[in-house]
């Protein structure tokens, strides 16, 4: 067998492995506004859900879950706290002699308080003794919390009245305890989004099965990546063959799309093909788009009217996809088995010549583009 046609041993071994699949990335509102890991923003979200006025049902569950976690944590230290938060207020950036407390939950009626130092990616260098002495309540009626992505040791905390809790400890305890059935819909949506955000940034800090898998098989994975690159190069080379046979040019440098167009005449109607989709679908999704650009976009509706009774156009799909600079006007999708992808260029040429080019020529004529006779 020709060595060029042999499948690399590393790739065969790789395909025999049980490959973990990363969970889908769930983008939330904090991602959209680029605030997913900003401590001040996260503290503001906590205040919203702790407030008895903005989230009356959720705040009750938040406080209840927090008190349960604190009771267990202080029991492990041989300490007992008696904290009554029947009525309370929430402060952010509460000023002390030497700093600011991130979140302070305070009951002036019962003289109880929970002092929270919130951490995302910053190290713990805060003067917790300053925070503790700033709240002049009995020691058994106040508690300190270092709230982080991961647990902090007693040595790291350095204060006997502060315990370590994680964001996921607290939030998932609220969820597992059951959310109130009569919670406002918007608060339910906001809260679930917040929980998902905090879980994601917590777990992205951990050695997940996907990360461990990569670190255990870097050579095999790099071989697979190189194989994918070779497949992409093959498809793009096939598209260059298509362009040459149709007297067109290939335009674009993105692996996800390539245009086939008249480079000299710069006609505003051309073809778009998606190399990445071709390889990731194993040839089952070879979509060819008739795309409008420039002056053709302004004439989209009249062009659709022009093709209303066109037999070929009726057999094509309408992608309904448009951006400021282009419109996916019509499309067709063909399929080839992986074993038949050596015929990719021939299949695309045949499809364009027989199913798409007569339609494109009709559009160009309507746009008064000079056509070759």
Helix H, strand E, coil C: the string for 167-214 is HHHHHHHHHHCCCCCCCCHHHHHHHHHHHHHHHHHHHCCCCCHHHHHH
- In this predicted structure, what is the pLDDT of residue 43? 94
Answer yes or no: do 131 and 263 share one domain: no
Residue 23 domain flag: no
Domain endpoint, select from 160, 176, 203: 203
Answer yes or no: do 268 and 335 share one domain: yes
Answer yes or no: do 144 and 251 share one domain: no
Answer yes or no: do 179 and 35 share one domain: yes
Task: Specify the pTM.
Answer: 0.55
**300-306 own/partner pairs: CB under 8 Å, 24+ apart:** 300/327, 300/329, 302/366, 303/329, 303/363, 303/366, 303/367, 306/362, 306/363, 306/366
Answer yes or no: do 196 and 226 share one domain: no
Q: Yes or no: say if 165 and 134 are a contact pair by the CB < 8 Å rule.
A: no
Query: What range does the domain containing 348 cover?
Result: 222-366
Residue 106 domain flag: yes
Number of structural domains in the chain: 2
| DSSP notation for 41-54 | HHHHHHHHHH-TTT
Q: Average pLDDT, whole number, for the chain?
A: 89
The pair of structure tokens assigned to 262 is 């008249």
- In this predicted structure, what is the pLDDT of residue 17? 64
Answer yes or no: do 162 and 92 share one domain: yes
**Structure confidence at residue 206 as a pLDDT band (50, 70, 90):** low
Residue 278 domain flag: yes
Domain endpoint, select from 203, 238, 254: 203
**Structure confidence at residue 180 as a pLDDT band (50, 70, 90):** confident
Answer yes or no: do 232 and 198 share one domain: no
Residue 8 domain flag: no
Closest CA to 364 of 248, 251, 273: 248
Q: What is the rounded average pLDDT of the residues 318-341? A: 91
- In this predicted structure, what is the pLDDT of residue 212? 75
Answer yes or no: do 56 and 165 share one domain: yes
Task: State percent of the chain over pLDDT 90.
Answer: 66
User: Exposed (0-12), middle (13-18) or buried (19+): which is 59, by Cβ within 10 Å?
Assistant: buried
CATH code, domain carrying 263: 3.30.1460
Residue 209 domain flag: no
Residue 136 domain flag: yes
Answer yes or no: do 279 and 346 share one domain: yes
Residue 11 domain flag: no
Answer yes or no: do 185 and 227 share one domain: no
Q: Yes or no: say if 328 and 319 are a contact pair by the CB < 8 Å rule.
A: yes
Of 90-99, 138-147, 283-292, 320-329, the poorest mean pLDDT is in: 320-329
Residue 37 domain flag: yes
Answer yes or no: do 34 and 159 share one domain: yes
Answer yes or no: do 245 and 195 share one domain: no
- In this predicted structure, what is the pLDDT of residue 128? 96
Which has the higher per-residue pLDDT, 7 or 196? 196
Residue with tokens 């998902």: 196
pLDDT surpassing 90 at residue 130: yes
């Amino acid at each position: 067998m020709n060595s060029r046609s042999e499948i690399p041993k590393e790739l065969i071994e790789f395909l025999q492995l049980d490959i973990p699949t990363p969970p889908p990335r769930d983008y939330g509102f904090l991602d959209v506004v680029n605030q997913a890991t900003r401590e001040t923003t996260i503290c503001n979200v906590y205040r919203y859900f702790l407030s008895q006025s903005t989230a009356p049902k959720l705040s009750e569950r938040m406080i209840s879950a927090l008190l349960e976690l604190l009771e267990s944590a202080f029991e492990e230290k041989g300490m007992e706290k008696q904290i009554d938060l029947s009525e309370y207020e929430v402060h952010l950036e509460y000023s002390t002699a030497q700093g600011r407390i991130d979140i302070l939950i305070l009951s002036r009626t019962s003289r109880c308080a929970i002092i929270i130092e919130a951490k995302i990616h910053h190290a713990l260098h805060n003067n917790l003794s300053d925070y503790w002495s700033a709240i002049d309540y009995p020691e058994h009626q106040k508690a300190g919390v270092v709230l982080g992505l991961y647990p902090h040791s007693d040595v790291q905390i350095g204060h006997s009245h502060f315990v370590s809790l994680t964001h996921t400890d607290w939030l998932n305890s609220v969820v597992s305890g059951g959310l109130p059935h009569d919670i406002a819909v918007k608060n339910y949506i906001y809260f679930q989004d917040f929980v998902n955000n905090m879980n994601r940034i917590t777990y992205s800090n951990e050695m997940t099965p996907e990360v461990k898998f990569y670190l255990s098989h870097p050579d095999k994975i790099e071989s697979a990546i190189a194989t994918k690159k070779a497949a992409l190069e093959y498809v793009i080379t096939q598209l260059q063959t298509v362009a040459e046979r149709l007297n067109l040019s290939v335009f674009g440098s993105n692996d996800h799309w390539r245009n086939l167009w008249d480079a000299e005449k710069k006609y505003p109607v051309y073809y778009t093909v998606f190399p990445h989709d071709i390889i990731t679908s194993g040839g089952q999704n070879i979509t060819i788009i008739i795309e409008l650009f420039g002056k053709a976009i302004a004439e989209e509706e009249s062009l659709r009217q022009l093709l209303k009774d066109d037999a070929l156009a009726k057999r094509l799909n309408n992608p309904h996809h448009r951006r400021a600079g282009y419109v996916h006007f019509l499309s067709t999708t063909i399929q080839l088995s992986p074993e038949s992808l050596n015929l990719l260029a021939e299949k695309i040429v045949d499809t364009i010549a027989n199913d798409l080019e007569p339609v494109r020529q009709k559009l160009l004529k309507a746009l008064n583009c000079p056509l070759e006779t």
